[in-house]
């Protein structure tokens, strides 16, 4: 009897010990998050002290053309209410007004673009272009811009790498061919982080890009030049690429829409060093950034080309019948604590759908989202045809992370501090392969079970809006909210939800299961209608 009591006592003691350990861990986590929250506040105060006086506003808009959607402009050109030359000239003029503040466009083809526009106008006038041509070329006469890291024949193609200074593309990336074939006219290419790998747009060749809502703030990366120029009215149509939030981070920070499509529908050929033969392992994707939700599906149809039938972009969607889920916190302790304005942003969306949906939105509690950073790091290591240490040298050699890091902080180097961060990250241990594959599949199955073919997930974009330039070096993991959808290869739309009290954009991500991009876009349209969507960062006449 005594031996039985002894075993029972041991079990109870172990149970009490586990409970105590759990309590201690919980308390330590709360202390850590509390401390981290106020450290983040202190960072903002310090950076603001040195930067707020340097803010330069964006010039007022005097030409209403620049506020139009790309599809609206295409229709007006088709109906001869506007000429392509008038449209292109309006955006050329606007770029000249705003780019000195933004440093977004790094190479232009203004005269060539205007000549392209004049030719289209002549062909329309003499009847060479018929109605069927407009159907086959839905953006005929409409200007666009894209990233400097994507090949546009004749344009700068340096990737922000010093060894590529002066390099120009000799061909068009596959997605550029598609958008040109749709009739769009390239105005130029925009700034990126060095080799695209950072959450702020800055490189040694072209410098830093500024946020149109506050020029002392970050525009995100790597499609930061695109989002900045788009938000300031410098282009009606913007195309970015996304391997770790590179469309959605800038879209969030600059208050515009950004869509990362279902994976493997758009060729990667011509994106940096990619050839298009990377296969289905790659996480990189191409997607539109727009000021108007109505532009997302038409641009996406062009980009996916022959794969358009795999999506349901023409199917009508009743948003009231979509199954809504939401997550408020990814539980990733490396991410800065979530601030109230961001929490209220997603709760406003939840409240709206509670009021209109046939089934109330359901809050999800899925543990796997806290592994976003680890999973992304593993799958980045599996990217075929990519070798960061060689690519950063323009494949003329191989960087030495230890030597180059020491050089950077002593005598200086041709690399940005963000590239040094990537060197250091390469030196850190990689996640276990079996664990990463198993956890990725587990998370995918959990989410697919919830989303099905008629569900979306409302998900945070970031713990707070655009921070000051270079503050990301002190918060290097905040992009984890975005990368999980690259890992899972789900379609996701970044949706602007107005401005916070500081006048900075806030927003949320809308996620769906693969090939259900139309649901993301339908919800984006509904949120735009309910909350206003894009808010110009300048005065309008």
Contact residues for 520 (Cβ-Cβ < 8 A; gap 6+): 259, 456, 491, 492, 493, 510, 511, 512
Catalytic residue, chosen from 228, 246, 263, 413, is 246
* Confidence (pLDDT) at 523: 98
The question of whether 119 is a catalytic residue gets the answer: no
- Core vs surface per residue 218-235: b (16+ CB within 10 A) or e: bbbbbbbbbbbbbbbbbb
Candidate list 76, 147, 260, 374, residue with the active-site label: 147
Q: Which residues of 374-411 are buried (b: 16+ CB within 10 A; e: fewer)?
A: bbbbbbbeebeebebeebbbbeeeebebeebbeebeee
Assess whether pLDDT exceeds 60 at residue 2: no
pLDDT value of residue 366: 95
Instruction: Give residue 13's pLDDT band: very low, low, confident or very high (50, 70, 90).
Output: low
pLDDT band at 16 (very low <50, low <70, confident <90, very high): low
* pLDDT, tens only, 327-353: 999 999 999 999 999 999 999 999 999
Full-model pTM:
0.95
Average pLDDT over residues 506-534: 98
User: Does position 376 have pLDDT exceeding 80, yes or no?
Assistant: yes
List, for residues 421-433, the tens digit of each pLDDT value. 999 998 999 999 9
Q: What is the pLDDT of residues 143-152, one digit of tens each?
A: 999 999 999 9
Distances (CA, A) of 332 to 77, 341, 362, 376, 486: 49, 19, 21, 13, 17
Q: What is the mean pLDDT of residues 21-40?
A: 85
246 classed as catalytic: yes
DSSP notation for 467-480: -BTTGGGG-TTTTH
Q: What does the pLDDT look like over 225-240, one tens digit per residue?
A: 999 999 999 999 999 9
Residue 1 has pLDDT above 50, yes or no: no
Contact 241, 147 (CB under 8 A): yes
- Please write the tens of the pLDDT for every residue from 493-505: 999 999 999 999 9
Strand order in the sheet with 492-499: 105-108, 185-190, 143-147, 238-242, 285-290, 257-260, 492-499, 505-512, 455-460, 323-326, 362-363
State the pLDDT at residue 131: 83
State both tokens at 359: 């089934």
Q: For residue 510, what are the β-bridge partners?
A: 458, 493
Half-sphere exposure (Cβ direction) of 42: Cα atoms closer than 13 Å: 7
Q: In the chain, pLDDT over 70 holds for what percent of residues? A: 97
Whether 147 is catalytic is yes
- Catalytic residue, chosen from 84, 222, 267, 461, is 222
pLDDT band at 26 (very low <50, low <70, confident <90, very high): confident
Residue 21 pLDDT? 75
Rounded to an integer, the average pLDDT of 359-369 is 96
């Amino acid at each position: 009897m005594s031996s039985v009591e002894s075993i029972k006592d041991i079990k109870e003691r172990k149970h009490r010990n586990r409970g105590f350990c759990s309590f201690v861990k919980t308390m330590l986590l709360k202390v850590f998050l509390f401390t981290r929250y106020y450290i983040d506040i202190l960072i903002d105060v310090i950076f603001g002290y040195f930067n707020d006086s340097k803010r330069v506003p964006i010039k007022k808009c005097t030409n209403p053309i620049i506020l139009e959607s790309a599809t609206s402009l295409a229709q007006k050109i088709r109906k001869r209410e506007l000429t392509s030359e008038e449209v292109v000239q309006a955006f050329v003029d606007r770029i000249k007004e705003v780019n000195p503040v933004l440093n977004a466009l790094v190479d232009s083809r203004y005269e060539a673009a205007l000549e392209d526009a004049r030719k289209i106008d002549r062909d329309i006038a003499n009847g060479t272009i018929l109605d069927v041509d407009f159907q086959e070329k839905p953006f005929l006469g409409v200007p666009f811009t894209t990233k400097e890291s994507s090949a546009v024949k004749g344009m700068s193609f340096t990737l922000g790498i010093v060894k590529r200074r002066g390099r120009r593309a000799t061909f068009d990336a596959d997605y550029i061919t598609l958008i040109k074939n749709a009739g769009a006219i390239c105005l130029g290419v925009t700034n990126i982080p060095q080799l695209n790998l950072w959450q702020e747009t800055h490189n040694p060749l072209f410098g830093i890009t500024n946020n149109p809502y506050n020029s002392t703030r970050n525009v995100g990366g790597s499609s930061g030049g695109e989002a900045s120029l788009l938000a300031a009215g410098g282009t009606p149509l913007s195309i970015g690429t996304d391997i770790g939030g590179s469309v959605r981070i800038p879209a969030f920070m600059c208050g515009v829409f950004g869509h990362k499509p279902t994976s493997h529908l758009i060729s990667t050929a011509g994106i940096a060093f990619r050839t298009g033969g990377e296969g289905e392992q790659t996480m990189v994707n191409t997607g539109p950034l727009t000021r108007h939700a109505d532009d997302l599906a038409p641009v996406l149809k062009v980009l996916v080309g022959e794969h358009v039938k795999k999506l349901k972009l023409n199917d009508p969607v009743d948003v009231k019948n979509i199954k809504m889920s939401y997550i408020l916190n990814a539980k990733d302790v490396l991410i800065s604590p979530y601030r109230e304005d961001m929490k209220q942003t997603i709760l406003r969306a939840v409240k709206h759908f509670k009021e209109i949906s046939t089934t109330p939105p359901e809050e999800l509690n899925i543990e796997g989202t806290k592994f976003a950073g680890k999973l992304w790091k593993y799958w980045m290591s599996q990217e075929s045809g990519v070798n960061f240490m060689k690519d950063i040298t323009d494949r003329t050699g191989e960087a030495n992370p230890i030597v180059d890091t020491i050089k950077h902080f002593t005598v200086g180097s041709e690399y940005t501090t963000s590239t040094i961060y990537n060197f250091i990250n390469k030196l850190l241990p990689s996640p276990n392969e079996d664990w990463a594959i198993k956890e990725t599949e587990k998370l995918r199955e959990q989410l697919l079970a919830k989303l099905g073919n008629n569900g979306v997930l409302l998900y945070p974009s970031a713990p707070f809006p655009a921070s000051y330039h270079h503050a990301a070096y002190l918060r290097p993991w905040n992009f984890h909210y975005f990368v999980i959808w690259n890992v899972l290869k789900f379609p996701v739309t970044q949706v602007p939800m107005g401005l916070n009290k500081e006048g900075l954009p806030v927003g949320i991500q809308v996620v769906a299961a693969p090939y259900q991009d139309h649901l993301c876009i339908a919800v984006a349209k509904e949120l735009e209608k309910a909350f206003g969507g894009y808010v110009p960062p300048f005065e309008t006449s």
